[in-house]
Structure 1
Amino acid sequence: MIVRRMLWPLMVSLICSGQVLAEQAPLVEVTQPERTLVRDELVTFGSLRSDESVMIRPEIEGRVASLHFREGEAVKGGELLVSLDDSITRAELAQAQANLDLAEKSYQRTQMLFKRGASNAQAQDEAQSQQQAARASLALAQARLDKTQVRAPYDGVLGLRQVSIGDYLSAGQDMVNLEVLDPLKVDFRIPQKAVSQVGVGQVIELSLDAYPGERFKGTIIALNPRLDEVGRSQAIRAQIGNSDHRLKPGQFVKVSVILAERPQALLIPEEAVMPMGQLLFVNLVVDGKAERRQIRIGQRQRGKAEVVEGLQGDETVISAGWQKVTPGHEVRTIKRGEGA
């Protein structure tokens, strides 16, 4: 009975000691910092535009005699698209040619008479002037005839035609649009606070609803030197390759301007960051014990935080359960993603 009374305090003491030891070694989840590419991006929105875009229009009035293209097809620069009725212009050209022939013969005759002394210098000058006027009339008639043939100004893709054979067109009337689809231009704006961070030659990436998950790379080619006075923003133009014609002029796009890239940035789970006032800390496991270290973070993205100061990359970071640890005390660990 006396022995039992003596052992009881000892057993209680051992049980309490075991509880204290268990409390001093909490179970925490740990992970290693991840090295990956991190970018500083300026995100805005813009629109795609054709590199060149023109509405094909006749320079003279006339009736459409024939169409030499199909809607939506690719054409080469100089290729014939539309022929206007040229019966009148051909007649005018023939008349101008006949007038020139007459003027040249008259000039030759006047020169011959002048050499023989049978004509004066004034008659020779008048004949020469008539010859020059006839040449100018012929050139004008030829130019009018040439303008009955409407050609593509450069390589591109045609849109939808707005005329039919037999239509009588006025000068400057719309016929069909021509677009250059490779490359494309991207027009967007940035706020004035970011003007100093953006320059010609910087890389951009586009994303759009038509191709979810894909990003298309381009390059800034021009900046408007004058800011918009209403929105205090700067207009930017970039260029992007489009050899497969997947992108279309007029599409609304999300633009990411790449300001900086860090290919070996350190990332840790965002929940591993412990805020204390204005400072940030992480809890590490060093030789089986908890250690607290101050850090500075950069970007936050998809549940990860970039550590720009405070870690080397080979540490063991407590990602969950750091609320239970005390610096300098032992901890039990389990890897992130594994069961207890």
Structure 2
Amino acid sequence: MNKEKISSLQLFYLMTGYVLGTAIILGLGAEVKQDAWLFILIGIVGGLVLMAVFSQLSTYYPGDTLVQMLPKIIGKYLSYPVGLLYIFHFTYSAARACRELGDLIVTTILSETPIIVVIGSFMVLMIYCLRGGVETLGRMAEIVFPIYIFALILIWILLFSITEFNLKNLTPILGNGLKPLLKSAIPTAINFPFGETMVILMLFPFLNKNGRQRKIGMLSILVGGLLLIVNSIMMISVLGPEIYSRDLFTLLAATQMVSIADFLERFDALVILMMVTGVFFKMGGFTLGAAVGISQLFKLKQTRSVVLALGTIIPPLSLISASSYVEHLEFGFKFYVPYVHTILQIIIPVILLFIAFIKKKGT
């Protein structure tokens, strides 16, 4: 299974798209309004620290995924439930990304289509790609990512044509002080989307050139984070801080305001394209991470059947996890991100690194 390899550029594209994922569509830092870009900046700093932790673990145990290094760090018996915990985390996170895609598409362009049809159709395409393995996912990222960035930049250029565009919407900076910003950003801004890059520990062993893990991981956090900052600045400049804080799909709301000479309008398709692409990166990373983890934990020889099994679990899980999109967001940002993410993406990795450091010093 580890004979499959991806290039440094493919992993960079995959992880940068993964960072952007659904975060580019949603209004990050909505609760701090015009300081949302500072909210994301705090997340970037925390994300870089976490990536240093992840890459150091990979350096200590080269060629091992997270599931493979757990027994070497915390022992055989404790590693089993912890490994299962991460597999469930990856699977549930993939289901959440799937739900966000389904709700956006059903809300906008396919209002008469049942959400299960939208989610199921996307999952079929996802399974088709992932059954080809990590190499296929890497090649897809290499093709799709430049198109994704082109669409994003085109949307930004179009937003400059909107008469309501005003950079003064970003003021006053820190109007409510630094303390509320820090309280809101820590740990939420670090956990989502930057902490979710922990899935890279399941992908590092497939890198064709060892020793570049830290560089690729850091660049993914930095480039993805800076793009999110620019995007939040553009959204606030167009919508204003009040609408930005209330709208569920800020990028879509801003893009719908574009009208050039009453002729060039309705660029919603670009946003839908970006959402589908973003969920492709996010679901691809999470689903592959879960599939590789299951295969290694239960000593299976291949991941194809596991991917197929996950493909039948994720769509219904995405629907039963919440009765509505509002409930989905509330559960995510009020419970799952601040508590579960903090334990799985910050506390446990730091503990693992501490134990690994002691073990390496003792040998």
Q: Normalization by structure 2: what TM-score?
A: 0.19
Larger Rg: 1
Greater RCO, CA 8 A, separation 6+: 2
Q: Normalization by structure 1: what TM-score?
A: 0.20
From the two aligned structures, give the one with the greater helix fraction. 2
